[in-house]
Amino acid sequence: MSDETAARPPLFTPLFFTMCGFTCTVFLSAFLLLPTAPLRILALGGSSVAAGAFLGLLTYASAFTAPLTGALADRMGRRRTLIVCSLVLSAFAALYGVIGVPRLMLVLVAVHGVFWSGLLSGSAAYITGVIPESRRAEGIGYWGLSTMVGILVAPTAGLWLYEHGGWPWLCALAGGLNALMAAIAWRLPEQPRAATSERFFTRRLLEWRVLLASLTLFLYSFGYGAITSFSALYARGTISDTQALNLTFDSESTPVPKAFWGGYAQGAWRALAWNESNLTPFVRYEQFNTGAAYAEQPLGVSTPALPTEKVWTAGINYYLNPNVVFKFDYQDFNRDDAELGYGNRFNLGIGYQF
């Protein structure tokens, strides 16, 4: 063993793994709620705009309060910040479980975003103090895997629990995970607090040295968020004047619906990579209804809404290179429909990006 290797400070310490467990739990609890809360708002009679605003308000509140919550975490102590924010989020999860008014959910999520910001700022600052400076980039890379595990597992688990157990049980699980976060944070040693003579509310809010790095991260996150958070996560459509349109199709057995919708959550993991190729297993859960409502016809004749289709898909993608992908998956449908081609099946496919 060389002197350089022997002198490297340890990275994988018990405290490092504790923080990885804390962070994984943070994202498990958050991503149980994020894909399911819009469905809850729609079930309560809220509009699609209100459903989409849930994540938007959380993000805006978190982003715009981050400079304040980060500075406050330095002042009051990062460990204490993690404990307080975890307990508050546990209370919020309980409130989500009993609130039956979409507008109140949106008010609550705006406040939720402030404490979410404190949790992210405090945990990022804490792990930076745990990782040796000479191995900081490496350590942040490994720590980031705990975030990915939470994001990979939680949406699918949350949608399954929402469907089979109900919203209150999902909120109870999220609240329990937040309480577990507080218990983990309680066992963390406190790090030194910031020593400064500046007053909290009169100090300089902006550090120009980090402005360029922050702008770069913003541009990256803007594109990343648009793809992962909003691309076909949930879509709803309506067609106007279908009553008159369907009267012209008297001989047709399938009338045009006035409303239809669909949504999905998917997690994927780049498990193996070499040269330009990689293997990426994935799991997807989706719900859709291509005939959610039909306009009533004259003389009281009406077409009943179609039942909602629910599908689990598991498979693997083999990327030969960034432009060519071979796809294999299995789909499990909750109901078969020979006319529409729904039914449990294996799929093979190939894709090419021009």
Rg (CA), the chain: 24
Higher pLDDT, 250 or 113: 113
Domain match, 223 and 273 both: no
> What average pLDDT score do residues 161-170 get?
90
Whether the per-residue pLDDT at 46 is higher than 80: the answer is: yes
Domain match, 139 and 101 both: yes
Q: Does 235 map to a domain? A: no
Domain match, 213 and 74 both: yes
Domain match, 222 and 142 both: yes
Q: What is the pLDDT of residue 349?
A: 86
Higher pLDDT, 91 or 269: 91
Lowest mean pLDDT among 189-198, 287-296, 302-311, 318-327: 189-198
H or E segment and range at residue 246? helix 242-247
Q: What is the pLDDT of residue 142?
A: 85
Whether the per-residue pLDDT at 104 is higher than 90: the answer is: yes
Domain with residue 28: its CATH number is 1.20.1250.20
Contact 32, 157 (CB under 8 A): yes
Write the burial class of residue 95 (CB in 10 Å: 0-12 exposed, 13-18 middle, 19+ buried).
middle
Whether the per-residue pLDDT at 177 is higher than 80: the answer is: yes
Q: Does 68 map to a domain? A: yes
Domain match, 172 and 264 both: no
| Predicted TM-score of the model (pTM) | 0.60
Q: What is the pLDDT of residue 98?
A: 93
Q: Does 223 map to a domain? A: yes
Q: Does 199 map to a domain? A: no
H or E segment and range at residue 74? helix 48-76
Contact 182, 87 (CB under 8 A): yes
The total number of structural domains in the chain stands at: 2
Higher pLDDT, 229 or 74: 74
> What average pLDDT score do residues 28-35 get?
88
Domain span at residue 280 reads: 241-352
Domain match, 275 and 162 both: no
Q: What is the pLDDT of residue 227?
A: 42
Distances (CA, A) of 157 to 177, 214, 229, 234: 13, 33, 17, 17
Contact 336, 330 (CB under 8 A): no
Write the CB contacts of 137 (distance below 8 Å, at least 6 apart in sequence). Answer: none
> Which SS3 state, helix, strand or coil, does residue 217 take?
helix
343: left (phi over 0), alpha (psi -120 to 50) or beta: left
What's the pLDDT band for 105 if we cut at 50, 70, 90?
very high
User: How many residues in total does the chain contain?
Assistant: 354
Domain match, 165 and 249 both: no
Q: Does 48 map to a domain? A: yes
Domain match, 225 and 246 both: no
Domain match, 268 and 141 both: no
Higher pLDDT, 95 or 55: 95
Domain match, 116 and 218 both: yes
Domain match, 264 and 215 both: no
Write the CB contacts of 39 (distance below 8 Å, at least 6 apart in sequence). Answer: 51, 162, 234, 263
Higher pLDDT, 101 or 228: 101
Q: Is the dihedral of CA 329, 332, 337, 340 positive or negative?
A: negative
Higher pLDDT, 153 or 95: 95
Token pair listed for 16: 């490092």
Q: Does 2 map to a domain? A: no
Whether the per-residue pLDDT at 251 is higher than 70: the answer is: no
Domain match, 141 and 75 both: yes
Whether the per-residue pLDDT at 300 is higher than 80: the answer is: no
What's the pLDDT band for 110 if we cut at 50, 70, 90?
very high
**Helices and strands counted in the chain (H then E):** 10, 7
Angle, CA 84 vertex, CA 94 and CA 198 arms, to 5°: 145
Higher pLDDT, 92 or 224: 92
CA dist 270 and 316 (Å) reads: 10
